[in-house]
Structure 1
Amino acid sequence: MHRAVSLFIMSPGTVAPGDFVIVHVGYAIQKLVAHEASTTWELIDKMHGTLPPDQHA
């Protein structure tokens, strides 16, 4: 997924185009390495799979 986010609360120079970050309310709050990002997506997919169909975003 690609999305424009604010880097305001990240330390200068810690994030570059193509990096994986966790975003909360439009702000990047944590940088992830590729395997952490992959694991995070897998967990999110599993959580979405356990919700009733009417509760999916």
Structure 2
Amino acid sequence: MCLGVPAEVIAIPDPGEPRARVAISGVERTVATDLLADEELRPGDWVLVHVGFALSRIDAEEAAITLEQISRLGGTILDDEIASFRRSVIE
């Protein structure tokens, strides 16, 4: 299963490049922010990440609710998503 998972923006390495460093449950990765070109992302913002792309900006409350709902699905769904996120690389 492939879900959109909330991630916190922890850094914008190069403001001229459409990339952000994000963290999901302690796992950090660089994601593409091309789809949010009109947004001014900053550390502390939350985004919904799917297959290495930040799809939309969400607020912290929505992020918490979404993470709670994913964990309620049971099994290893969230763990599987985090493992997939850990293996992904966006250059």
TM-score range, shorter chain: 0.7 to 0.9
Structure number with greater Rg is 1
The residue type paired with residue 41 of structure 2 is V
- Equivalenced residues, count: 52
| Cα pair distance change 1:3/1:18, threshold 3 Å | farther
Question: Which segment drifts farther, 27-36 or 16-25?
Answer: 16-25
Quick check: 1:8 aligned with 2:8?
Answer: no
Residue 22 (structure 1) shift: 0.5
Residue 41 (structure 1) shift: 0.3
Q: Which has the higher helix share?
A: 1
The DSSP-based 3-state class of the residue aligned with 2:33 is coil
Residue 25 (structure 1) shift: 1.1
Q: Which has the higher strand share?
A: 2
Unaligned runs of 5+ in 2: 1-23, 81-91
Tell me the residue number matched to 1:24. 50
Query: Considering only aligned residues, what root-mean-square deviation do their CA atoms show, in Å?
Result: 1.9
Structure 1 length normalisation: TM-score? Answer: 0.73
The separation in 1 between residues aligned to 2:39 and 2:49, in whole angstroms, is: 17
Structure 2 length normalisation: TM-score? Answer: 0.49
The runs of 4+ residues in structure 1 deviating greater than 2 Å are: 11-14
Q: Which has the higher contact order (CA 8 A, sep 6+)?
A: 2
The residue type paired with residue 40 of structure 1 is T
The DSSP-based 3-state class of the residue aligned with 2:64 is helix
